[in-house]
A and B are shown apart, each in its own frame.
Chain A
């Protein structure tokens, strides 16, 4: 139980293009999903918290117009990196928290984004 999927697992794009990453909870309903970014040899940095049906809450320093988050259902959240640049290249990981899961977060497998 508590399986979270992400798609795509990796993506390479040209500078200036937009990339959409999907995060799905497969066997539970996720009231809250979180988006993290991880640079090599660093820990996870929370980008935003996404609640179903409401606007995402972004962490300080994260540009909400650049990283668009949509949480349209209890099983799907999307992160769109708009006008991507090489400095946006990173490992993007989502996690999901279920209705009865207290604070426990289950992580998706991550999406490795490379911007050329």
Chain B
């Protein structure tokens, strides 16, 4: 069973702080990793993807990938109340035919 694990939260951070969201996956051969944001009642919205070990930055967001530890994270700098949402980690597994396997998501609350 290929799995993607996330802490369901809620993770509460004050406005302006750094939010750190974590995700582990079971298949060492996984190649593609995605972070989606989902507001309540809405569909997921792609934040960023990462394929290589290391950091990838896009505005206030940084994705970090460590394939040896089978760990991917998302950092959100200068968190805003509008960042309050559920963040979904998704992974494509080897032999999975480009299908995404989603974690259960981490609920982030940014407090004023």
Interface residues of A (CB under 8 A from B): 32, 34, 42-44, 46, 49, 57, 91, 93, 95, 97, 102-110
Contact = CB atoms under 8 A, between A and B. Distances in A.
Given A93-B43, A104-B46, 12 more contacts: A32-B98, A34-B100, A43-B103, A43-B105, A46-B99, A91-B43, A103-B98, A103-B100, A104-B34, A105-B100, A107-B43, A110-B43
A44 B100 CA distance: 10
B103 A103 contact: no
A54 to B, nearest CB: 13
Contact of A104 (B44, B49, B104): B49
Contacts of B71: none
B42 A109 contact: yes
Interface string B87-112: 01000100001111111110000000
Contacts of B31: 103
* Residue with the greatest number of chain A CB neighbours at <10 A, chosen from B34, B36, B49, B99: B99
B57 interface: no
Nearest to A108: B43
Contact of A103 (B32, B42, B43): B32
Given A49-B97, A103-B32, A103-B98, A43 B88 contact: yes
Contacts of B98: 32, 97, 103
B55 interface: no
Contacts of A102: 32
A56 B103 CA distance: 24
Nearest to B100: A105
B87 to A, nearest CB: 11
Nearest to B91: A103
A34 to B, nearest CB: 7
11 contacts: A42-B104, A43-B102, A43-B104, A44-B102, A46-B99, A97-B98, A103-B31, A103-B98, A105-B100, A109-B42, A110-B43
